[in-house]
Amino acid sequence: MRLRWTLQAADDLAAIKEFIGRDSAIYARQVVERLYEAVSELSAFPDIGRIVPERGQSDIREILRPPYRIVYRRGDEIIEILTIHHSSRVFPEDLGRGPV
């Protein structure tokens, strides 16, 4: 399966890196790498994530990498990364602005 990042998810990842990087560039890089690794597993195991409780749709799933939730849409041929969301925040109503 192919992976596609939405603009929202790419922006989320950049914001995470910038925020953490204010205190530690090394830790910011490690967190981003850990999130990328989790996403890369989806190509081989697209159903690895759980259904997002706030949505209850079988095609909207998430992988938990505390404190982040990697939310994605599983299609027949494409997995679309919708957002990387901090678990302490209210879940977003709108998911995934357009593909990158």
Q: Is 81 exposed, middle or buried (0-12, 13-18, 19+ CB in 10 A)?
A: buried
Within a domain: 74: yes
Number of domains composing the chain: 1
pTM to 2 decimals?
Answer: 0.88
Within a domain: 18: yes
Max Cα–Cα distance, the chain, nearest Å: 41
Within a domain: 92: no
Within a domain: 11: yes
Within a domain: 28: yes
Pick the more confident residue, 20 or 93. 20
pLDDT of residue 18: 97
pLDDT of residue 90: 74
Within a domain: 98: no
Within a domain: 71: yes
Q: What residues make up the domain containing 51?
A: 2-86
pLDDT for 98 beyond 70: no
DSSP-H helix ranges across the chain = 7-21, 25-40
CATH number at residue 22: 3.30.2310.20
Within a domain: 100: no
Tokens of 13: 């990842």
pLDDT for 1 beyond 80: yes
| Whole-number CA gyration radius for the chain | 13
Order across the sheet with 2-5: list the strands: 2-5, 78-86, 68-74, 60-65, 50-51
Share of the chain above pLDDT 90, in %: 73
pLDDT of residue 97: 58
What would the pLDDT profile of 29-65 be if each residue is shown by its tens digit?
999 999 999 999 998 899 999 999 988 889 999 999 9
d(CA 36, CA 13): 9
